[in-house]
Amino acid sequence: MFFNAYEAVIGLEIHVQLQTKSKMFCSDSAAFGGSDNEHTCPVCAGLPGALPVVNERALEYSVKTGLALNCRINPRSVFSRKQYFYPDLPKGYQISQYDKPLCENGHVEFFLDGHRKRVSIVRAHMEEDAGKSLHHGEYTLIDLNRAGVPLLEIVSGPDMRTPAEAAEYARTIRRIVRYLGVCDGNLEEGSMRCDCNVSVRKRGESRLGTKVEIKNLNSFRFIEKAIEYEIIRQIDCLESGDPIHQETRLYDPDKNRTFMMRSKEEVQDYRYFPEPDLLAVELDAEWIQKVKQNLPELPLARAERFMNEYKLPAYDAFILTQERDLADYFEEVAHACGNPKSASNWVMTEFMRELNEAKKEPFDAPVSAKSLGKLIELIDKGTISGRIAKSVFAEMWQTAKEPETIVKEKGLVQVTDTAAIAKIIDDVLTANPSAVTEYKSGKEKLFGFFVGQVMKATKGQASPAVVNDLLKEKLKS
């Protein structure tokens, strides 16, 4: 590509909203929505005299995530106040973590274009969300329903070099937090938010270029697009000798460009200091160990196991392990039928197509994993053909009936009776003498035509294997 002479350096800060019932430091609901300022109390509205108390579950979810990201969990971590004035920040400070975060020094791995990529996690720390500002031109309105909702900020190292890597890293984080059940990873609703730090430098140079932050990217595609735009913009600056300013930019998806939000030349002085209203969080090693033992198998490890244990191709393994429920579903199907490759094919094609169309979760689907397993078993035993199975599956999705019931009701059992099939083949050949002549004179493509005619005559119930064998034999003579 044209920017071969340059290299981009990309790091991501991802805010993950922890799926707790109540807020980080008070008992108000953390649920999305609510009427104006409904989820407020003295604590999250910053009334005089109110004090924060740490939500136990938020702490546990953060530790879980930290462990899944291979971080060191600090046995003692400290909340700090990040101070700035903004109308949707009720206390004039955000309770966050600064020099002693909960999680540090981790990494995640993922595959991109067949290559294994590792990205370091510098830190992951707990903090509270701010409220919402609704801008109306001549005035601004403040809703504090979100104020105090628990967040985990995951900061990567500057380890990514391409927009695709950055997007895949973000997807990896999303997969992990969804596997853990700590966050729904919904970028559009803002329960997962990405800020990207992008700089470029001449290839081979070790010094980092000036960093630009792109804020609030609400889809993986936008992450990729925005970074791509930003890299090109910065290279253009370097090429034409224009300075790159350290600043915060926003991405406009309609115009596919980034634009300046605020300059960082006037450095914000956040005056961080330890939050005196909260004592240090001290975690004992035993408890951390227990959380670790209860971690689910994570997506990458699971994909690799699927390759080893079920001999699935990498492509299948990665698709199936995108979501924990789908992977669980697949494994149930595979165990039910004893044919993992077939299970994988069925789950990835028929099942996922219907699932996406119906916008359902695997375990809410009308076709249970056991039933799908039975369907595959029916094929493997030769009771029905693969073609028939597809229509049976469609029927199962419509009616939620068991495959055997459908096969029996509709009389779909495969015809394997050689004599019966031979009779039908004879009829087909007799009815199409010119085609037979053509075939025999070398137009072998017509074989498919004969198969089609036979299957049509048997309403698809003839065993394809038997049809193939008999037809070849008869056409030879």
Q: What angle, rounded to 10 degrees, do the helices at 386-399 and 403-410 form?
A: 110
How is residue 298 annotated by DSSP? P
- Token readout for 256 is 């596919």
Single out the segment in contact with other proteins by CB under 8 A; choices: 19-27, 304-312, 344-352, 404-412. Answer: 19-27
Q: Determine which residue in the list 29, 186, 219, 248 makes contact with other proteins, applying CB under 8 A.
A: 29
Q: How far is the CB of 141 from other proteins (least distance, A)?
A: 4
Q: At what angle do helices 464-476 and 433-440 cross, to 10 degrees?
A: 80
Backbone angles phi, psi at 83, to 5 degrees: -105, 125
Q: How far is the CB of 292 from other proteins (least distance, A)?
A: 19
Residue 274 makes CB contacts below 8 A (sequence gap 6+) with 78, 79, 80, 81
CB atoms within 10 A of CB 278: 17
291 in Cβ contact with 66 (< 8 Å): no
| Candidates 172-180, 263-271, 380-388, 458-466; binding stretch for other proteins (CB under 8 A) | 263-271
**Residue 290: in which H helix or E strand, if any?**
helix 285-293
Q: Which of 35, 206, 356, 434 binds other proteins (CB under 8 A)?
A: 35
User: Is 127 within 8 Å of 281 (Cβ atoms)?
Assistant: no
420 binds other proteins (CB under 8 A): no
Nearer to other proteins by Cβ, of 99 and 357: the residue is 99
Q: How far is CA 473 from CA 12, 307, 415, 437, 466, in A?
A: 65, 40, 18, 15, 11
Q: How far apart are CB 94 and other proteins at their closest, in Å?
A: 11
Q: Is 32 in the site for other proteins (CB under 8 A)?
A: no
Interface segment toward other proteins; rule CB under 8 A; list 85-93, 249-257, 338-346, 468-476: 85-93
Total site size for other proteins, rule CB under 8 A: 64
In the list 92, 313, 338, 452, the residue contacting other proteins (rule: CB under 8 A) is 92
- Note whether 27 binds other proteins by CB under 8 A: yes
Alpha helix stretches (DSSP H) within 294-443: 299-309, 314-320, 324-337, 340-346, 352-358, 369-380, 386-399, 403-410, 418-431, 433-440
The interface with other proteins within residues 114-173 (CB under 8 A) comprises 133-144
In eight-state DSSP terms, residue 415 is B
Beta bridge mates, 251: 258
The region of 91-99, 312-320, 334-342, 353-361 touching other proteins under the rule CB under 8 A is: 91-99
Lay out the site mask for other proteins across 325-364 (x = CB under 8 A, - = otherwise).
----------------------------------------
In the complex with other proteins, which residue's Cβ is closer, 47 or 301?
47
Residue 45 binding other proteins, by CB under 8 A: yes
**How, if at all, do strands 132-135 and 79-83 pair?**
unpaired
**225 counts as binding other proteins under rule CB under 8 A:** no
Q: Which of 11, 66, 74, 91 binds other proteins (CB under 8 A)?
A: 91
Closest to other proteins by CB, 151 vs 375, is: 151
Is 188 a residue that touches other proteins (CB under 8 A)?
A: no
Contact yes or no for 143/37 (Cβ under 8 A):
yes
Binding site for other proteins (CB under 8 A): 20-22, 26-29, 35-42, 45-59, 78, 81, 83, 85-87, 90-93, 133-144, 267, 269, 271, 273-274, 276-282
